[in-house]
Structure 1
């Protein structure tokens, strides 16, 4: 019990230091596009609680790795796949190998006007292809977007990849794939559950969460770079606190064991 009190007190003291610290400029944060709606809400709460601000750029994790390797001034990187964090740490541009902050999920999504029937085993998608009525289907580019890589893996596991590949439209990242899948420019797509659950998309589209056992886990890890200043460190800590955990859960993310337990 004494150990738990010490951890809680330490976090409280640290957050207090964040509130009283000064920053001449908001730090630049790189974040995977699948967490945009959740992270925007966390950042807003962070500013409300501390008075500090962060600037967030969203994109594909693979592209951010290349930018950080070439000196991009990001102070904190929230990746959609932990392998990218490990790569950067081996290159010596991060202060550690970071920590898990969320576990991602895939969703099958389609505009409300689409003929695609949604189900977690993609029976409806297969039926549409057999009928010859699937024209365009969106996923993120599997070459550099983790959610695209997992979508490809899921389609392969269900025996649909070869059949569907000619109809695929690739988004540069999963956020762009979601725009393709939900805007009506395609008949649907496999996207991040966190994006499909956002109010902006729920108003125009249907979705169903896909089983996590059909692909390798989407372990989302974050890390401070060697450029990190005090505000970035504060935000990194804040992302592991209760308010941030609640927001990530609200957007369909699973929590790593150490965060789910409230450590």
Structure 2
């Protein structure tokens, strides 16, 4: 009788995992270590709070930085489970390098760039647009470092396509991330900056400045993607995070912070 009861208990647990995947996921605590592009900080912080409420047994650890630096670290098997990049190229390279499978790649949003100034600035950025970078009041222009930050490359491409790069290149100050570029302007270390729209819409900057959206045809489309790494500790927990970000709740938060859906 004891063996029979043990058999039925075991089968019930197996069937619960088959029919209710979340039941298996919730059975024991799991860690998900995320390497995330800096432009995601404000949107992802909010999404993470909701995700933790939905999955209390998953411990979410998020580290923010530049996508290029993360790619270099992940190429050497840095201890992360999920990579959320500011472009789709770095995740694709990891798949190409055999560090993740093609089926674990995903696209979660499309970002945009803006020219941002503090609210007290005399520069009429809304009227002047890209020409505001040529203002006599501008001594330093902050952007993310194009060498390893996709948003820095977007800023550089926009300045080149709109004909101001040669005039302003000697006034550029480079942040390690697009987040740091915004901090340079906010602190007064730079007079104006080209940052992500998600940062300009974040609570920390929303009421502190004014901005002009750079036209989408001025720089390569900022399609942003992610990937689950082949050495993820818990694939089911990592997949749960991916599904949440790609689901309606995650996308609603991303849209509120200026990330468009890839289909839009």
Name the CA distance, whole Å, in 1 between partners of 2:192 and 2:125. 9
Q: Larger Cα Rg: Structure 1 or Structure 2?
A: 2
Does the residue aligned with 1:36 lie in a helix, a strand or coil?
helix
Name the CA distance, whole Å, in 2 between partners of 1:62 and 1:18. 35
Deviation at 1:13, TM superposition (A): 5.1
Of 109, 122, 139, the match for 2:116: 109
Partner residue, 1:89: 95
Partner residue, 2:225: 221
Does the residue aligned with 1:53 lie in a helix, a strand or coil?
strand
Name the CA distance, whole Å, in 1 between partners of 2:221 and 2:66. 17
Query: Does structure 1 residue 249 correspond to structure 2 residue 246?
Result: no
Deviation at 1:109, TM superposition (A): 0.5
Contact kept? 1:60, 1:172, Cα under 8 Å: yes
Partner residue, 1:212: 216
TM-score by length of 2: 0.86
Cα RMSD for the two superposed structures: 1.7
Runs of 4+ in 1 over 4 A off after TM superposition: none
Name the CA distance, whole Å, in 2 between partners of 1:13 and 1:239. 20
Partner residue, 2:197: 193
Query: Does structure 1 residue 65 correspond to structure 2 residue 71?
Result: yes
Query: Does structure 1 residue 123 correspond to structure 2 residue 118?
Result: no
Aligned length, in residue pairs: 241
Partner residue, 1:38: 43
Superposition pairs of residues 49-64 of structure 1, within 5 angstroms? 49-51=54-56, 52-64=58-70
What are the ranges of 5 or more consecutive residues in structure 1 without an aligned counterpart? 1-11
Task: Please list the CA deviations of residues 111-136 of structure 1 after superposition, one character each: whole Å capped at 9, or x if unmatched.
Answer: 1222222137413333x0xx3x3211
Does the residue aligned with 2:83 lie in a helix, a strand or coil?
strand
Distance 1:142 1:39, change over 3 A: same
